[in-house]
Structure 1
Amino acid sequence: MLSFVKRFFVALGISVIYTSVASAIETKGVVVTIKPLHSMVSGVMGTTGKPNLLVTGYASPHGFQLKPSQVKLLKRSDIIFSIDEFLETFLQRAFSNIPGNVKQVTVVDAARIKLLPIREGGPWEVHKHDEHKDGEHKAKGDKHTAHKDEGHDYHGGNGDIHVWLTPKNAEKIVKAITRELSELYPENRNIYKANALSYIQKLQKLDDELKTLLVDVKAKPFIVFHDAFQYFEKAYGLNGVGTISIEPDESPSPKRLTEIRKKLKETKTSCVFKEPQFSERVVRAVVDKTSAKIGVLDPLGANLKSGQSMYFELIRKLANNFKQCLTL
């Protein structure tokens, strides 16, 4: 009798799922800035639709410029997901020309993520950049005009905004995405929630996997190209001791290189990480005449295919690259 009841409720659950899928409406008009966030949005949307991605391939949000076709895409969209206004600065000028009915969601705010403080001093420097030459902060009606006469950093006004690089933060972001899409398409609410639950379970499994994988390299010092990995380091107890570039798309000064070489020798750093979005020339100059190895860390997944599984591939690859370079 009990087995019959169990089979009945399993069949009922399957029936509800099929009914929900059958009654789903297409999720359209969704635009996402970077690939890791696009993966999370895709995971929540599931088979109800496909979000549009702006920054592809080896492009970086640092210094990215929208194509005219992408500007048109933004104007026709219903909702735009980004990390934070200080990361995707290329959106600021576009937003001044986007219709008011287009919802703009920055997930740092929507997910209520507590930002880590910006690391400063010595080998850790604030990533400043000057006022944009194209005057994007001066655009009439731009809500960010208040920043027009000051440099601002890629880490946001109140902290480091590379928040997507841990499964724990990704879980918060997925929940925020689910809330936003459910508000826009309430007919699909149950589907979004079910997809989010499945995605979050995978994130929790990934987090446990990485804790085991990285336990043996926690104490090993390393230097990164630019300070994008603080959340990952904190989550898994890794020992980052400095960054090469003050600005990811500018070459460091001779003084800066001297500081980093000194830090490398003092800490007996065995690995210096480059990023595929930027030239490795400076990294090679840092490790020249030392025993340090060069590793690769990619916060954006340049060579990974976009889609629901991309985020998991990105974080696993990040962890494996840490492990490989830090293992003597």
Structure 2
Amino acid sequence: MLRVYSIACLLLTTLLCSTAARAQVQVLTSIKPLQLIAAAVQDGVGKPEVLLPPGASPHHYALRPSDIRRVSDAQLMYWVGPELENFLPRVIAQRKQPSVAVQTLPGLKLQHFGEEHDGDEHEGHGHDADEHDHDHQPGSLDVHLWLNPVNAQVIAARMAADLSAADPSNAARYQANLAAFSERLKALDARLKTQVVAVEGKPYFVFHEAYNYFEHAYGLEHAGVFSVLGEVQPGAKHVDAMRERLQEAGPSCVFSEPPFVPRLAKTLTAGLPVNLAVLDPMGAELEANATGYETLMDNLANELTQCLGNLPSAE
């Protein structure tokens, strides 16, 4: 009789553990930066998943049948919005459970391409129209909104509210995680502001206009954007014009993004006092844990300040 009772208890315990595991809220984010924010909120309760694999472009991703199933099955779905993940709206519309396009959240500091950088929190940097990245038309929303800690805080607060509603038994933990994340963001913001002061005004160029939010938050501004379409080499006239910009700038940095350095980079910088480096605004290889978002931002600051800090000081 005791043996039967023990077996029954074991089965009950297994069932309860299995039920608890299933009770974890299934959170799916479109891109890694949103997963990093969600991981801070879900820390100790569950682990959010991400739709796009490392290195995949949110501008051009093609959904597989398995991706569509994941979007359909997730209890909570977070994406930036149709301006970034233009492959998602039709699939999102078919979902029966909550989905949040975070670009619509109140309280965000949003920027638009081509607007003058005059200190207004809703405006970005001004550059010549022909320098804009091919995906980023003047006047369109800059969707790289996660690169400002203020926006990360707004997104995390919405996630904590959604998770608390979906999983009331862990609401206190979600709110505690949100409070801890908020405190770490304050420390991050202060740290980055101090770190980048030494390189303010030093010239750098990018292959993708993805950093306006980060630059606006920390007093930086890129000198130009070298527009390239994938690995297609631009014409000689365009390359000469870009090299002229680099020559005018003098010692500078040119930043590309993973997973590859554009072939144009070496052609463009050959024989010039230019340092090539890499910035990853997506945090593609980062682990989704409680401090992943801070690591993403710290990495950007470290790469920028390391490259720019190695440039000779202006006379």
TM-score (norm 2): 0.80
Cα root mean square deviation, aligned = 2.5
> Is the contact between residue 41 and residue 159 of structure 2 (CA under 8 Å) also seen in structure 1?
yes
Distance in 1, matches of 2:151 and 2:304, equals 20
> Does the CA contact (< 8 Å) of 2:257 and 2:280 recur in 1?
yes
Q: 2:274 aligns with which of 292, 296, 299?
A: 292
Which residue type is aligned with residue 131 of structure 2?
Answer: W
- Pairing 1:170-189 to 2, within 5 Å after superposition: 170-189=152-171
Q: Is this contact kept in 2: 1:123–1:242, CA < 8 A?
A: no
Give the total of aligned pairs. Answer: 279
Which 5+ residue runs of structure 1 have no aligned equivalent? Answer: 1-22, 129-152
By how many angstroms is 1:90 displaced?
A: 2.2
The one-character-per-residue Cα deviations of 1:199-256 (angstroms, maximum 9, x if unpaired) are: 1111110111111111110110100111000111111111311111255675545444
Residue 121 (structure 2) pairs with residue 124 (structure 1): no
What SS does the aligned partner of 2:306 have? helix
Q: How does 1:1-328 map to 2 (within 5 A)?
A: 26-96=23-93, 98-99=94-95, 101-119=96-114, 120-122=127-129, 124-125=131-132, 127-128=134-135, 153=136, 158-245=140-227, 247=229, 251-327=233-309, 328=311
CA distance in 1, matches of 2:83, 2:189: 27
Identity %: 34
| SS class of match (2:204) | strand
The alignment partner of 1:48 has SS state of: coil
Q: Which runs of 5+ in 2 are unaligned?
A: 1-19, 115-126
Following the alignment from structure 2 to structure 1, what is the Cα–Cα distance between the partners of residues 150 and 237?
37
Code of the aligned partner of 1:67: R
Which whole-Å deviations, capped at 9, do the CAs of 1:257-277 have from their partners, x for residues lacking one?
333222222222510001113
Deviations 1:10-40 (A, max 9, x none): xxxxxxxxxxxxx999432211111111011
Once the two structures are TM-superposed, the CA of residue 175 in structure 1 deviates from its matched residue by 1.4
Could you tell me the TM-score, scaled by structure 1's length?
0.77
Q: What displacement does 1:296 show?
A: 0.7
Deviates more, 1:162-171 or 1:116-125: 116-125
8 A contact 2:77–2:98 mirrored in 1: yes
CA displacement at 1:167 relative to structure 2:
1.9
